[in-house]
Amino acid sequence: MSADAGVVEQVVAAAIAELNLQRGADEKLGDGPSALLFGDGGPLDSLGLVLLIAELENGLEQACGVRINLADEALLEAEDMPFRSVGTLQKYLINLP
Amino acid sequence: MTQICLLVSDFNIAPLAGYLRNDEELPIVDVVEAPHGVVEPVFLSEHSVWQRVPVDAVALVWTRPEAIAPSFVQLLRGVPPPADVLEGEVDRFVDLLLGAGPRLRGLLVPLWTLPPSARAAGIGDFKVGGCQWAVQCMNARLVQRASESALLHVLDAQTVLAATKGRSYDAKLWHRGKIAFANPALRQLVGEVKAALRAVDGRGKKLVVVDLDDTLWGGSVGEVGWQHLKLGGHDYVGEAHVEFQHALKGLAQRGVLLAIASRNEEDVALQAIDSHPEMVLRRGDFAAWRIGWGDKAASVAALVEELNIGLQDAVFIDDHPAERARVREALPEVLVPEWPADPAFYAEALAGLRAFDSVGLSREDLERTRLYADERRRRQARHAIVSLDDWLAGLQMAVRAEALDGASLERAAQLLNKTNQMNLRTRRLSAEQLAAWPQEGRREIWTFRVADRFGDAGLCGLVGLAAEKSGGSICDFVLSCRVMGRGVEETLLHFASLRAREMGWQELLVEGLPTPKNKPCLDFFARALGSDTDAALTWSICGEFALPNHVQLHA
C-alpha cells in the first residue's frame, strides 16, 4: 500500500473524530502527533482500540482502495507498537509496504 | 431536561451509548448500560442495573433474533420451526420485558434484522422455513404485541439499516468486539431513538406552517394565476408538489395541524386552494392562515398564538432561504429545517424531520383539524358579541366528568404527557403507570369531556386527587389549551371541591410546581383561589368552589 502523508493524516484524523463522537467530554482523544492513544498512559481501552482499528481500516480502504489488517497481535506486542500515539500511528501507516 | 435511557443488548452496544450521550438533538440523553450479552437476567431478577435507573426512564432493548428465539438458532442449523413456535418465543420475550413495566415509561425494541452473511438460499430465505421468513414472523408478532401495549414501542431498524446504504454491518467489528452493527447504523439509530423518546414524552411537533408559492405548489400564483401553477399533471415538478401535499395531508390525518404563511393576496391564494383540480389540500385542511404582505416571522407567531400552542411545537417550511433565516432568527424555538431546492425531495425531507412521531392515535388526534375549525368559528362568533358573559352563555358549555377507565386511559395519558401550559405539576406517567396510580390508597383520577354548540372537543381535562393526613390534595390538574378560558378550569375545580366533600376531606390542598411553561395554570389558581403575592404556589379550598353559571356539569 502506498499512501501519502496527507491521506494518512486525514484518515487518522477522521477515525479519531469518529471515536470522539462516542466519548465523553473529558475522554476526547487528541489528534496532534504527540497525543497518546493506546498502551502506557494512553486513553484507549481494548474496545476503543478495536473501534479505532476498524475506522482506520475502512478509511484507508476508501481512500486507497486497499484492504489492510491492523488487528495483528504481533503488531500490538511489538516494542515500537504503532498505536502508542497519533504520531507513531501516522508514521507506521505511511510506511506500510 | 436529561432523559435516562437504559440500554440492554445481547451484543456490545457501547458505541451506541457514546453516540446517544453526545448527540445534541433534544431530548438530551444520559445512558445506563446493562452489561452486554445480558438480557434475560436484567428482566428476570433484581439486577443491580435497576439501582441506576429512575422510574421515568425508557429502555432500549436491542437483540439479534438468535439471542431471544432458541428455535431460530435451530433454524440456522437446518431445522426450521413452525411459525407458532417462533411466535411463542417472541411472546415469552415480550412478556419478560413487560414485567418491567412499573419501572419504565417506555420500552423501545428495534425490529429484528439479519446481517448480509445470513443469506443462504436467496429467494428461498423468504419461503416457509427460511431465515428471512422466520425474522418476518418474529417481527410481525412483535408489532402485534406492541400494538396491544401502551409501554412497548417498535423501532424500525430495517429502515435505519437501509439508510446506511450497505454500511450497517462490519464483520471485523463483530468478530473482534461483538459489535453487531457498524457506526453508520448506530448513528442512524440515535435519530430514531430521539424521535421515539420525543413521542413517548408527547413532544412531537403539533403544527406545520407552510409557504404556498414554490412550496405547496410550483410557481407564483399571483404571477401566473392558479390555472397555470405547477401542480400535478405530466410534469415532475407538479407531481412532486402533489406528493408533498399528500405527505402533509397524511400528517393532518394523524392530528398535526397545518397552517399557511404566505406572501400573496389572500383572495387569490384561497381561490387557488379552492379551485385547482389537483390540490390535495383544501381550505378545510388548514387550521389557520396568514396570507398577506407582512413579515413571515410575525405571521408564524400570530398563527401559533391563534392556535394556542407553543412556538416549540411548530415547524416552518418555506422554499426561500431568506424567509427561513428570518423566522429562524426571530423565532428560534420554531423548527425551521433547511429545505431542498428540488421539489422532488420535498416529501422525503418532511419525513426525514422525524418531528411528528407519536406513540399512537386517539380519536382527538384524528379530529384535531376539525376541532380547530370549530374553534375558528367560535372566535368569529365571539367577535360578533360584545359581552364576554353573553358569549359564554351562548356557548352551551357541557362538561362530563368520568372516572378514569380503560376506554379513556390512552387519551388521558396523552393529555397528561403532552399538556404543558395548563398543568399544575406537569407529572408525566405512562398509560400503565397512570392506570396503576389510583389503585393505591385513596386516590382518584377523573377525566373531563367538553362540548359546546360548535362541537365536541373530546377528553380535554384530567384531575388527580389523593388523600392526605388532614384532608386531600390535587395531584394533577390538566386542561387542554384548546378549551382554556371558557370556564372549564373553574368547572374542574368545582368538581374537585365536590369530591373532597364526598370523601370527607375538610380541606383540599393545591401545590403548584412551576415549570418554564405552566405559568397560565399557576396564574389561574392565583386568580381563582387568591394569593397575597404573585409567587404563591400553595392554596387550599375549604367548602365548595362555585360552578360557573354557563356550564352544565354531568357526573
CB contact under 8 Å between B173 and A54, yes or no, is yes
Query: For B101-134, what is each residue's pLDDT tens digit?
Result: 888 999 999 999 998 888 888 999 999 999 999 9
Is B100's pLDDT higher than 60?
Answer: yes
Q: With pLDDT > 70 as the criterion, what percentage of chain B qualifies? A: 95
Distance of alpha carbon B459 from its chain centroid, rounded?
17
Query: For B26-60, what is each residue's pLDDT tens digit?
Result: 899 999 999 888 898 898 877 888 889 988 899 99
3 state SS of B243: helix
Sequence-ordered list of residues with C-beta below 8 angstroms from that of B533, at least 6 positions apart, any chain: none
Closest CA to B49 of B101, B5, B16: B5
Is B201's pLDDT higher than 90?
Answer: no
What does the pLDDT average to over A23-42? 93
Is B533's pLDDT higher than 60?
Answer: no
Region for B487 from its dihedrals, namely left if φ exceeds 0, alpha if ψ lies in -120 to 50, beta otherwise? left
Nearest to B176 among A22, A50, A55 (CB): A50
Cell triple for B407: 376506554
d(CA B181, CA B173): 8
Query: For B401-457, what is each residue's pLDDT tens digit?
Result: 999 998 899 889 988 988 887 899 999 898 889 999 999 888 999 999 998 887 788
- B157 versus B389: the higher-pLDDT residue is B157
Sequence-ordered list of residues with C-beta below 8 angstroms from that of B391, at least 6 positions apart, any chain: B381, B382, B385
Q: Which amino acid type is present at position B166?
A: G
Distance in Å, alpha carbon of A79 to nearest chain B alpha carbon: 23
Which position has the grid cell 422532488? B344
Residues of A in contact with B19 (CB under 8 A): 21-22
pLDDT at residue B381, rounded to an integer: 66
pLDDT at residue B222, rounded to an integer: 87
pLDDT at residue B388, rounded to an integer: 67
pTM exceeds 0.80 for this model: no
**Residue B387 — pLDDT band, cuts 50, 70, 90?**
low
CB contact under 8 Å between A71 and B21, yes or no, is no
Residue in chain B nearest A67 by alpha carbon = B172
pLDDT at residue A1, rounded to an integer: 58
d(CA B465, CA B445): 6
Cell triple for B148: 396491544
d(CA B310, CA B422): 12
- B513 versus B531: the higher-pLDDT residue is B513
Nearest to B176 among A22, A55, A71 (CB): A71
pLDDT at residue B282, rounded to an integer: 95
CA B344 to each of CA B212, B236, B349: distance values in angstroms, whole numbers, following the listed order:
16, 7, 10
Is B470's pLDDT higher than 90?
Answer: no
Residues of B in contact with A83 (CB under 8 A): none
pLDDT at residue B55, rounded to an integer: 84
d(CA A64, CA A62): 6
CA B231 to each of CA B217, B225, B244, B265, B319: distance values in angstroms, whole numbers, following the listed order:
6, 12, 10, 19, 16
CB contact under 8 Å between B183 and A55, yes or no, is yes
Sequence-ordered list of residues with C-beta below 8 angstroms from that of B321, at least 6 positions apart, any chain: none
What does the pLDDT average to over B237-256? 95
**Residue B392 — pLDDT band, cuts 50, 70, 90?**
confident
Exposed, middle or buried, B304 (CB in 10 Å: 0-12/13-18/19+)? buried
Residues of A in contact with B7 (CB under 8 A): none
Interface TM-score (ipTM) > 0.95:
no
Distance in Å, alpha carbon of B174 to nearest chain A alpha carbon: 10
